[in-house]
Amino acid sequence: MSTITQEQEKLTDQERQYILLTQNGLPIIQEPYHAIAEQMNISVEQVLSLTKSMQERGVIRRIAAVPNHYKLGYQFNGMTVWDIDDEQAEKFGDAVGRLPFVSHCYLRPRFLPEWNYNLFAMVHGKTEESIAKYRGQIKELLKEVLVTRNHDSSQDIITKSNDMLTSTAILKKTGLRLKK
């Protein structure tokens, strides 16, 4: 079993303090960054430049609103998985990630023969038909790089080049937080 972790950005004490103050959200008040500045005992200019620096380095991905998918009517999600040519995986993975209905898009290792899919893309939609349609759109995009495999020709078992796993129950869900 191999584990690959992301290279970690070095955080300054000030940045850690900033994360602890904002990881549960930005205050929804006229001057939110002033409130943070006051708590950190630095100027608002420093808070704004700290924010921009963390954004540029990818420590902050976005400063945005994240809606509850279900409450907006996006009640269906599917984890689409694809067996695509390794040589082309980065280029095509990037294209799949840019589709507006994809919330996560990753390359992951295969474990043959039981798991042959290397590209994962999570799709969201308001109906079962819509997520099936989105899967179709991804398939169209990937059609030239899908891998055809046949692991067991004697038994005529053909490994599929793609699948969609829909969730039927949430078994556990907790938030990830930086520890104090």
CA distance 15 to 58: 13
6 or 153: CB nearest another protein: 6
Cα separation, 44 vs 33, whole angstroms: 6
Closest Cα partner for 99 from 68, 132, 127, 121? 121
Least separation in angstroms between CB 12 and another protein: 12
Instruction: Report, in Å, the least distance between residue 141 CB and another protein.
Output: 13
Q: Which is nearer to another protein, 95 or 136 (CB)?
A: 95
**Shortest Cβ 150–another protein spacing (Å):** 18
CA distance 105 to 122: 7
DSSP character at residue 87: G
Give the shortest CB-98-to-another protein separation in angstroms. Answer: 6
Question: Shortest approach of another protein to residue 149 CB, angstroms?
Answer: 16
Q: In terms of CB distance, is 111 or 150 closer to another protein?
A: 111
State the DSSP string of 113-141: TTB---EEEEEEESSHHHHHHHHHHHHHH
Instruction: For residues 46 and 17, give the distance between their C-alpha atoms in angstroms, rounded to a whole number.
Output: 13
Q: Token digits for 165?
A: 């796993």
For another protein, the closer CB: 40 or 59: 59
